[in-house]
Structures are given as structure tokens and as C-alpha cells.
Amino acid sequence: MVEKILATVGSPQGKIFAILGLAFKPNTDDMREAPALTIIERLVSKGARIKVYDPEAMKEAAWRLGTIDHSITYCLSEYDTMKDSDALIILTEWNQFRNLDLAKAKQLLKTPLFFDFRNLYERKNLESLGFSYQGVGR
């Protein structure tokens, strides 16, 4: 997943990534083996800043990511993560992430880059709204 991000954005140095979903699945705060951990750590190691939101796993994330906490902003909503971010990355298929206000998302993001690693959205729909869309296996 990180390779797909890097292939699209180039160097993440100085970029801000909005990450929605930290738990390994919806309706839990369990982050054991969650892809978010590896993705966040790799992006931060390359100079990125990260804004995160998860409906349940924020406390767990702060505990697990404590050593790189200086590069992470814990946000109060999915839209807070998007404000002035260079890309949006969805990592957990929470129901509330399936129904984002896409016009608002596009307005908040610095760059309309959308990484949908749970395939919650259709490429055609996002591209018709002006997003650059990357899904998994698509």
C-alpha cells in the first residue's frame, strides 16, 4: 500500500496525509496487525506528517504510535483530517466513511488525491468529481 502511495505522490517529505480508519476492522479499537500502523510509520520515516481519525481506535493509536507522535495529529472527525491535507487514505471500512460528503472532501483537501484501500467507492464516480483515485486491485 505504501508503494502505491509513493508511486503516486513521489516523495512524501513535507506532505500531509489524512488517514481514515486505524483499527484492523470496523466496530473495534483493536489495532493488532492493522495496516495503518505500518503505513503511518513508513510515511513518517520518509518525512510525512499524518492526520488521523477513527471512531473507536484513537486512544489505542496514541498508545501504539507514541514514539512517532510528534508527526501525528489526532483529529475529531473525518473532515478535520482532510483540511489542508495532500491526500486522503481510507484504511478501515467504517460505515461513516462509506458516505462521505465528497464535495466537502474535495474542498478541504489541498490536492484531490483519494486512496481507497477498502474499495468503498467507485473510480468512475470519484474521477467525475475531479479526484485522482487509487483503489486496491483496480
CATH of the domain at 47: 3.40.50.720
| Cα–Cα nearest to 43, from 86, 96, 104 | 86
Determine phi and psi for 58, rounding to 5 degrees: -65, -45
Whether 39 contacts 21, CB under 8 Å: no
Q: How many domains does the chain have?
A: 1
Global pTM reads: 0.93
**In this predicted structure, what is the pLDDT of residue 137?**
66
Average model confidence (pLDDT) across the chain: 92
CA distance 56 to 105: 21
Whether 31 contacts 64, CB under 8 Å: yes
Q: What is the Cα gyration radius of the chain?
A: 14
Quote the cell numbers at residue 78. 473525518
**In this predicted structure, what is the pLDDT of residue 3?**
86
Provide mean pLDDT across the span 1-9. 88
Q: Could you list the residue range(s) of the whole structural domain that residue 110 is in?
A: 2-135
**What residues contact 7, with CB distance under 8 A and at least 6 apart?**
none
Provide mean pLDDT across the span 68-88. 93
Whether 29 contacts 53, CB under 8 Å: no
- The CA-based angle 49-53-55, given to 5 degrees, is 165
